[in-house]
Amino acid sequence: MSDHLTHAQALLPAFRNRAATWDRERRYAHDNVAALAEAGLMGMTIPRDWGGPGLPLSQVVPIVEAVSGACTLTGRILVEGNMGALSAVMAFGTDAQKALAAELVLAGDKPAICITEPGAGSDATAMTTTATRVPGGWRLDGVKHWITGGGVSKLHLIFARTPDGIRGFLALPGAGLRVARLERTMGLCGMPEAELHLENLFVPDDMVIPDAGFGELIDAYNTQRVGAATIALGVAAEAARLAAARLKDRHQFGRPLAEFQGLQWMLADMDTEIHAARLLIGEATRTERFPDRVKAARAKLMTSEMAVRVVDRALQIFGAEGYGSKTPLERMYRDVRMFTIGGGTAQVLRNQIAAAALDMKLPQTRDGWPAAWQGAIAAE
């Protein structure tokens, strides 16, 4: 067992105890973040040259799984303090940009990745946020929506359209970057989901990600998808653990629930699906750089949908008590529902997987079909 996993496990009881508080009060888990940073769990993927331990994803995901089982919100913060926008900056940023990102994340910052817009969700290339050349840098104008951590995050990786294509820009809170409103969400209630207005936001040249276009930056986002899958896995594993304990402790009709074959089969299905998801995530993390896009899509698709089923079954095993707030399952159910949507919907991930199987390009329009298909269509 790694030292980092040992440190994480020592924090789990406190995280479990506070999870309901963040949810009920819709409050960011600042206390948990401070504990993560102190234990060296923020920025675990940052290379040693920049002050981190340089852990591979394969060593980070078991830590994310453990933390997410105790507190989904804290697991999500942990992912974004090790993957996503951070991965992009550490791969493609200048030395100064890497140093800035490392300093902020190691101190507890959760970088925000700003892609989604009111009119550009799954179709990210439809974004309308513009970057206009001005003396010394760029002026950004537009609206970003569903930005996780908006109003809390310090480092922002903003995607904007330039005359030469979509590029990545780094910005800190200040003039021109405004939180217009926060969404009231079903789950993960302590994590702000913000609409950000970029109004004449000046980004100097030294805060532009160099030599990396949209494709390269999105490849780095595959780490985020694997991270999201791992959070869902952690929640599912915790739900299954609670369900197993319930089956052994609860008696009905003069015997423990664990003796009812129908309930045993529910638990067996949960256990099997959890282990299958863990294998898919493990396959996606066996990489020297970023996870393969299709492997990351498979892992997130299967795990996110599995987690919803597993938590639902666990809640069913608890009956009315699971439906109430006495157990964490009703909160976990609300939390885990997000993972089939955020970071690539289940439907978009299926499109990606099918495109790879069919040797098609995305988006899956006729323009993206192979030439042989185009010819067949023309002949009809």
Q: What is the pLDDT of residues 79-135, one digit of tens each?
A: 999 999 999 999 999 999 999 999 999 999 999 999 999 988 777 778 999 999 999
Residue 363 CB-half CA count within 13 A: 7
What CATH number was assigned to the domain covering residues 112-212? Answer: 2.40.110.10
Measure the CA–CA gap between 131 and 214, rounded to whole angstroms: 14
pLDDT in tens, 11-70: 999 999 999 999 999 999 999 999 999 999 999 999 999 999 999 999 999 999 999 999
What CATH number was assigned to the domain covering residues 215-366? Answer: 1.20.140.10
Does the N-terminal peptide bond of residue 363 adopt cis geometry, omega within 30 degrees of 0? yes
Rounded to a whole number of angstroms, the CA Rg of the chain reads 22
Confidence at residue 42, expressed as pLDDT on a 0 to 100 scale: 98
Q: Transcribe 202-261 into DSSP letters.
A: EEEGGGEEEEEEHHHHHHHHHHHHHHHHHHHHHHHHHHHHHHHHHHHH-EETTEEGGG-H
Confidence at residue 363, expressed as pLDDT on a 0 to 100 scale: 60
Q: Is the pLDDT of residue 373 over 70?
A: no
**371: its two tokens:** 């030439």
Confidence at residue 287, expressed as pLDDT on a 0 to 100 scale: 84
Do the Cβ atoms of 132 and 163 come closer than 8 Å?
A: no
Do the Cβ atoms of 343 and 228 come closer than 8 Å?
A: yes
Residue-range domain boundaries for the chain: 3-106, 112-212, 215-366
Measure the CA–CA gap between 313 and 268, rounded to whole angstroms: 11
Beta bridge partners of 160: 167
pLDDT in tens, 149-162: 999 999 999 999 99
Q: Is the pLDDT of residue 378 over 50?
A: no
Measure the CA–CA gap between 113 and 221, rounded to whole angstroms: 9
Confidence at residue 216, expressed as pLDDT on a 0 to 100 scale: 87
Using CB atoms within 10 Å of the CB of residue 156, give its burial: 0 to 12 exposed, 13 to 18 middle, 19+ buried.
buried
Measure the CA–CA gap between 32 and 150, rounded to whole angstroms: 18
Q: What is the mean pLDDT of residues 353-379?
A: 62
Confidence at residue 296, expressed as pLDDT on a 0 to 100 scale: 97
pLDDT in tens, 215-248: 888 888 899 999 999 999 999 999 999 999 999 9
Confidence at residue 123, expressed as pLDDT on a 0 to 100 scale: 79
The answer to whether the 112-212 and 215-366 domains have the same CATH topology is: no
pLDDT tier at 367, thresholds 50, 70, 90: low
Q: Is the pLDDT of residue 376 over 60?
A: no
Q: What is the mean pLDDT of residues 187-208?
A: 97
Q: Is the pLDDT of residue 374 over 50?
A: no
pLDDT tier at 211, thresholds 50, 70, 90: confident
Q: Is the pLDDT of residue 317 over 90?
A: yes
To the question of domain 3-106 being in CATH 1.10.540.10, the answer is yes
